[in-house]
């Protein structure tokens, strides 16, 4: 089973940046990802979810649709919206308090 964890979270001018560790059966992978304020507010309209929980929901969604090796080394959370039409409907349901 593939899992994802956040190694580092940092605020930026337009949102947040994350260093992610994705572990699959073969080897761990490190990724750099960004989450804009706009995407955060879309997926968490109440503003009650941690940004890290939203990013992990995005990564879980991406990993449910493709292999860990297919995840780009650097990506913005909006990538999911361009690749999968149902992302905006599914991602809010994947957000958990535990991240």
CA–CA distance, 14 with 72 (Å, rounded to integer): 21
Average pLDDT of the residues in 23-29: 83
pLDDT given at position 25: 76
The tokens describing 10, both together, are: 């940092």
Contact indicator for 2, 22 with CB cutoff of 8 Å: yes
Tell me the pLDDT of the chain averaged across its residues. 93
Average pLDDT of the residues in 17-38: 92
Which tens digit of pLDDT belongs to each residue from 50-94? Answer: 999 999 999 999 999 988 888 999 999 999 999 999 999 999 999
- Confidence check: pLDDT of 9 > 90: yes
- Confidence check: pLDDT of 97 > 80: no
**Mapped to the 3 state alphabet, what secondary structure does 4-70 carry?**
EEEEEEEEECCEEEEEEEEECCCCEEEEEEEEEHHHHHHHCCCCCCCHHHHHHHHHHHHHHHCCHHH
Q: How far is CA 26 from the centre of its chain?
A: 21
Domain locations in the chain as residue ranges = 3-94
């Amino acid at each position: 089973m593939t899992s994802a964890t956040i190694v580092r979270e940092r605020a930026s001018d337009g949102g947040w940046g994350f260093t992610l560790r994705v572990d699959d059966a073969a080897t761990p992978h490190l990724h750099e990802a960004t989450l804009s304020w706009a995407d955060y507010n879309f997926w968490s309209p109440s503003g009650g979810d941690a940004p890290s929980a939203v990013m992990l929901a995005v990564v879980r969604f991406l990993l449910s649709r493709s292999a860990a090796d297919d995840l780009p080394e650097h990506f913005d959370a909006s990538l999911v919206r361009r690749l999968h039409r149902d992302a905006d409907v599914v991602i809010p349901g994947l957000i958990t308090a535990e991240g």
